[in-house]
Structure 1
């Protein structure tokens, strides 16, 4: 059986979500390890946090593939008490596909729309950059259509489909047909949702004053949780990588959110 190189896995992820398209402030890519390394087992997760790293070591994985970058803010030291240092200690590589996956042709917000069984219109809530090679306009979020439902029904559907422990929302003033979705933190997109004439916005990490803005505009605003709206990306990457590489076993992490 042919051994898979880290560079091959990186290149395949790059074909799904080009790393060149990541936002200017982002740090997606191969963040620990070597492109020349070989991989027999790889763990796929949302975050390369300590429990995930220990899970990878226990399973004998040489690589972790995540959505969130394991190195994001500047580090003053790299020791085994921080995630990057622990990865180096265990000789585990880490590839992170962050805003390049958010803004991919099939991005995480699109995955949310599919999980909810909605008709995806593929209209971003924000355009903020361009692919330097193809000229494709890039941004965040997507819009979708659904059968008419109450705000309460949409909130219940999100809780069911995303596996939320709990959910916070402000119910709007009318039934819902057009929905905006922004995976992860996206409360600031309430104005964009209003401008697009949407009835609801599903996102996470919504601030107090963003809920007040939604109440004023009459739009249903649902905070379904950062982990819950983005862990779907780990399942997507696991499925894609598993079907692509016969020489590597890809394992979906069993580590969940610590938030209760």
Structure 2
């Protein structure tokens, strides 16, 4: 088979390099699909995609971004997620740096591809004058900008909370004690992201991913100039990093540390102090027989 011969020739033997390629590809897909969904909300008049369509579209982008990269790298496609797993010792600092670089470039080239695909539509929409903000704004296709009502402090809280909740859900989904099938995990992560968008999209569009926000912003600076680096730009970078670490540790302290090690282990509630006590094997059999 020609594919087997090519695989033998081109297969990357270094595990970290394979993981870097996977993170690049997964993040590229995330931004290519997700930003295209946003473009189809902003550019047509009347709008093609309602905001719930953006939520679902980004969720599907997450599903496939995670799915294509999961076996090689774990499917982080988000530096904040990688940082969270670094904080609990599940990846090394070298892996984190490599993942971060790959995620950044994946997002950068994802944004570049979207710009190439929608260039004519953008020209018709803004008359060839690239602006940040206002009725002809198209910079918001690529990076987050706060709604008029949103201040920096509240914006930081928004990104902190949204990312903490998202990473909490991810930690639950990938925790082996919860026994989710590996094929189901990308779907659950994507579904979780739809929930985050539906819950937290109003203030600033829920970026919750430093690479997904900063790399496209840097790309758009080529065409939109320095105006893309508003006083807001650091919020969707710092907020997600802090929120991700808090979210993953909250999961372990509230849930993960207390989940039975054995998937078959059951608990009963003792009277009095309501302490949880694992059933013995004999008690489990007796309970099932009853």
TM-score (norm 1): 0.26
TM-score (norm 2): 0.24
Q: By percentage of residues, which structure has more helix?
A: 2
Higher RCO by CA contacts (8 Å cutoff, separation 6 or greater): 2
Higher-Rg structure is 2
